[in-house]
Protein backbone atom coordinates (compact mmCIF):
# COMPACT_ATOMS: atom_id res chain seq x y z
CA UNK A 1 0.00 0.00 0.00
CA UNK A 2 2.72 2.47 1.06
CA UNK A 3 4.90 1.40 -1.86
CA UNK A 4 2.08 2.04 -4.26
CA UNK A 5 1.50 5.47 -2.77
CA UNK A 6 5.22 6.26 -3.00
CA UNK A 7 5.22 5.17 -6.58
CA UNK A 8 2.29 7.46 -7.40
CA UNK A 9 3.97 10.34 -5.57
CA UNK A 10 7.24 9.81 -7.45
CA UNK A 11 5.53 9.63 -10.84
CA UNK A 12 3.40 12.68 -10.14
CA UNK A 13 6.39 14.62 -8.87
CA UNK A 14 8.37 13.73 -11.99
CA UNK A 15 5.49 14.90 -14.17
CA UNK A 16 5.12 18.21 -12.32
CA UNK A 17 8.87 18.86 -12.38
CA UNK A 18 9.05 18.17 -16.09
CA UNK A 19 5.94 20.04 -17.12
CA UNK A 20 5.72 22.96 -14.76
CA UNK A 21 9.01 23.31 -12.93
CA UNK A 22 11.72 22.64 -15.49
CA UNK A 23 15.18 23.20 -14.10
CA UNK A 24 14.05 23.24 -10.48
CA UNK A 25 15.81 21.22 -7.81
CA UNK A 26 13.65 18.08 -7.21
CA UNK A 27 14.50 18.22 -3.52
CA UNK A 28 12.68 21.52 -3.25
CA UNK A 29 9.38 19.92 -4.23
CA UNK A 30 8.24 18.16 -1.09
CA UNK A 31 5.28 15.87 -0.60
CA UNK A 32 3.66 18.67 1.37
CA UNK A 33 4.50 21.59 -0.93
CA UNK A 34 1.23 23.38 -1.73
CA UNK A 35 0.62 23.00 -5.44
CA UNK A 36 -2.65 24.83 -6.06
CA UNK A 37 -2.69 27.25 -3.16
CA UNK A 38 1.05 27.87 -3.66
CA UNK A 39 0.55 28.89 -7.28
CA UNK A 40 2.61 26.05 -8.81
CA UNK A 41 -0.48 24.71 -10.57
CA UNK A 42 -3.03 27.00 -12.17
CA UNK A 43 -6.27 25.83 -13.71
CA UNK A 44 -4.68 24.77 -17.01
CA UNK A 45 -1.83 22.93 -15.30
CA UNK A 46 -4.32 21.28 -12.98
CA UNK A 47 -6.35 19.82 -15.81
CA UNK A 48 -3.10 18.69 -17.43
CA UNK A 49 -2.19 16.90 -14.21
CA UNK A 50 -5.64 15.36 -14.04
CA UNK A 51 -5.23 14.17 -17.62
CA UNK A 52 -1.88 12.65 -16.76
CA UNK A 53 -3.25 10.81 -13.72
CA UNK A 54 -6.30 9.55 -15.59
CA UNK A 55 -4.21 8.27 -18.49
CA UNK A 56 -1.45 6.79 -16.36
CA UNK A 57 -3.61 5.00 -13.83
CA UNK A 58 -6.75 4.39 -15.84
CA UNK A 59 -8.94 6.23 -13.37
CA UNK A 60 -11.59 8.90 -13.77
CA UNK A 61 -11.86 12.10 -11.80
CA UNK A 62 -15.13 13.65 -10.74
CA UNK A 63 -15.40 17.39 -11.32
CA UNK A 64 -15.58 18.15 -7.61
CA UNK A 65 -12.32 16.30 -7.02
CA UNK A 66 -10.41 18.88 -9.01
CA UNK A 67 -9.89 21.08 -6.00
CA UNK A 68 -7.43 22.09 -3.35
CA UNK A 69 -8.93 19.51 -1.03
CA UNK A 70 -7.71 16.68 -3.21
CA UNK A 71 -4.85 18.01 -5.28
CA UNK A 72 -3.04 20.61 -3.20
CA UNK A 73 -0.04 18.41 -2.33
CA UNK A 74 1.65 15.36 -3.77
CA UNK A 75 0.50 13.52 -0.68
CA UNK A 76 -3.15 14.35 -1.30
CA UNK A 77 -2.85 13.48 -4.99
CA UNK A 78 -1.37 10.08 -4.18
CA UNK A 79 -4.07 9.44 -1.59
CA UNK A 80 -6.84 10.20 -4.03
CA UNK A 81 -5.33 8.10 -6.80
CA UNK A 82 -4.77 5.27 -4.36
CA UNK A 83 -8.40 5.48 -3.24
CA UNK A 84 -9.60 5.39 -6.80
CA UNK A 85 -7.38 2.45 -7.66
CA UNK A 86 -8.59 0.66 -4.56
CA UNK A 87 -12.24 1.21 -5.39
CA UNK A 88 -11.95 0.29 -9.08
Residues in contact with other proteins by the rule CB under 8 A:
18-25, 28-29, 33, 37, 39-40, 42-45, 47-48, 50-51, 54, 60-64, 66-69
Closest CB to other proteins among residues 8, 41: 41
Minimum distance from CB of 38 to other proteins (Å)? Answer: 9
Structural contact between residues 17 and 29, judged by C-beta atoms closer than 8 angstroms: yes
CA 64/CA 85 separation, integer angstroms: 18
Of residues 55, 12, 58, the one with CA closest to residue 31: 12
Minimum distance from CB of 22 to other proteins (Å)? Answer: 6
Reduced to 3 states (helix: H, G, I; strand: E, B; else coil), residue 62 is coil
Closest CB to other proteins among residues 2, 43: 43
Amino acid sequence: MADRQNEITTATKAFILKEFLPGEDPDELLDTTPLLSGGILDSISTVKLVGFLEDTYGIEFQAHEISEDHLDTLQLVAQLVQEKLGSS
